[in-house]
Structure 1
Amino acid sequence: MPSFKGRLHDPRTATAVGRWLGVAIAVCFVTGVISHLLQKPPDWLQQELPPRPVWGYRLTQGLHVASGIAAIPLLMAKLWTVYPRLFVWPPARSVRHALERLSIAVLVAAAVFQLFSGLLNTVQWYPWPFAFVPVHFAVAWVLVGALLLHIAVKAPEIKAHWSRRSPGTLELPAEDGPDRRSFLAGVAAAVGAVTLVTVGQSFTPLKRFDLLAPRHPDHGPQGLPVNRTAAAARVTTVSTEHWRLTVAGPRPYDLTLDELRAMPQHTVTLPIACVEGWSKSAQWTGVRIRDLLDRAGAPPGALLRVVSLEKRGAYRIMEMGRGYARDPVTLLALRLNGELLSLDHGFPARIIAPNRPGVLQTKWVTRLEVL
Structure 2
Amino acid sequence: MREGTFTSRLHDPRTAVVIGRWLGAALIVCFVTGLYSHVLQDPPTWLRDHLPTRPAGLYQFTQGLHVGTGIAAIPLLGAKLWTVYPRLFEWPPARSVRHALERLGILLLVASMLLELFTGLLNTLQWYVWPFPFRQTHFWLAWIALGGLLLHLAVKAPEIAAHWRRVRPGLTERRAYLTTVTLSVLAVTAVTAGQSVPWLRRLDLLAPRRPDIGPQGLPVNRTAAAAGTAQTPADWRLQVVGPRPYELTMDQLTALEQHDSDLPIACVEGWSASARWTGVRIRDLVARAGAPSTARLRITSLETDGAYGVTEMESAYARDPLTLLALRVNGEVLHADHGYPARIIAPGRPGVLQTKWVHRIEVIA
TM range (shorter): over 0.9
CA distance in 2: counterparts of 1:236 and 1:333, whole angstroms: 18
Please state if 1:58 is matched with 2:51: no
1:246 to 239, 242, 252: 239
1:179-328 to 2 correspondence within 5 Å? 179-239=173-233, 241-328=234-321
Q: Secondary structure at the residue paired with 1:66?
A: helix
- Establish whether residue 178 from structure 1 lines up as the match of residue 180 from structure 2: no
Q: Provide runs of 4+ in structure 1 moved above 3 Å.
A: none
The one-letter code sitting in structure 1 at the alignment partner of 2:65 is L
Question: How far does residue 205 in structure 1 lie from its aligned partner after superposition?
Answer: 1.2
Q: Are 2:142 and 1:149 equivalent residues in the alignment?
A: no
Alignment: residue pair count: 362
1:269-311 CA-to-partner distances (Å, cap 9, x unmatched) read: 0000000000011010000001101110011211111100001
Q: Quick check: 2:300–2:360 contact (8 Å CA) kept in 1? A: yes
1:130 corresponds to which of 126, 132, 137: 132
Q: Which amino acid aligns with 1:8?
A: L
Q: What amino acid does structure 2 have at the position aligned with 1:12?
A: R
Which letter maps to 1:157?
Answer: E
Q: Check the 8 A contact 1:219/1:225 in 2, yes or no.
A: yes
Counterparts of residues 76-155 of structure 1 (less than 5 Å): 76-155=78-157
Provide, for residues 96-133 of structure 1, a one-character-per-residue CA deviation record: whole Å limited to 9, x for no partner: 00000000000100110111110000001111110000
Rounded to whole Å, the distance in 1 between the matches of 2:316 and 2:53 is 6
Give, in angstroms, the shift of residue 268 of structure 1.
1.1
Amino acid at match of 2:192: T
Task: Report the AA paired with residue 273 of structure 1.
Answer: A
Cα contact 1:302–1:322 (8 A) shared by 2: yes
TM-fit CA distance, 1:152:
0.6
The aligned residue for residue 29 of structure 2 is 27
**Hey, what's the Cα distance between the residues in 1 that align with 2:241 and 2:46?**
24
SS in 2 for 1:270: strand
- Identity percentage of aligned residues: 66
The letter of the residue matching 1:38 is L
Query: Which is further off, 230-239 or 128-137?
Result: 230-239
Distance 1:96 1:17 in 2: 25
The 2-side partners of 1:101 and 1:57 are apart by 38
Q: Shift of the alpha carbon at 1:44?
A: 2.5
Q: Retained in 2: the 8 A contact 1:341–1:349?
A: yes
Q: Does 1:15 align with 2:17?
A: yes
Query: 3-state SS of the aligned residue for 1:47?
Result: helix
The match for 2:339 is 346
Q: Kindly provide the amino acid, as one letter, of the partner of residue 274 in structure 1.
A: C
Mapped partners of 2:109, 2:25: distance in 1: 16
SS of 2:18's equivalent in the other structure is helix
**Aligned partners of 1:149 and 1:247: how far apart in 2?**
52
Per the normalisation by structure 1, the TM-score is 0.96
Following superposition, the deviation at residue 28 of structure 1 comes to 0.2
Structure 2 length as normaliser, TM-score?
0.98
SS at match of 1:369: strand
Report the counterpart of residue 39 of structure 2 in structure 1.
37
Deviation digits for residues 54-105 of structure 1 (CA, Å, limit 9, x no counterpart): 0010000000000000000000000000000111100000000000000000
State the alpha-carbon separation in 2 of the partners of residues 282 and 76 from structure 1: 38
* CA distance in structure 1 between the aligned counterparts of 2:211 and 2:201, rounded to whole angstroms: 7
Q: Which whole-Å deviations, capped at 9, do the CAs of 1:112-158 have from their partners, x for residues lacking one?
A: 01111100000011111100000110010010011001001001100
Q: Are 1:333 and 2:335 matched, yes or no?
A: no
* Unaligned ranges ≥5, structure 1: none
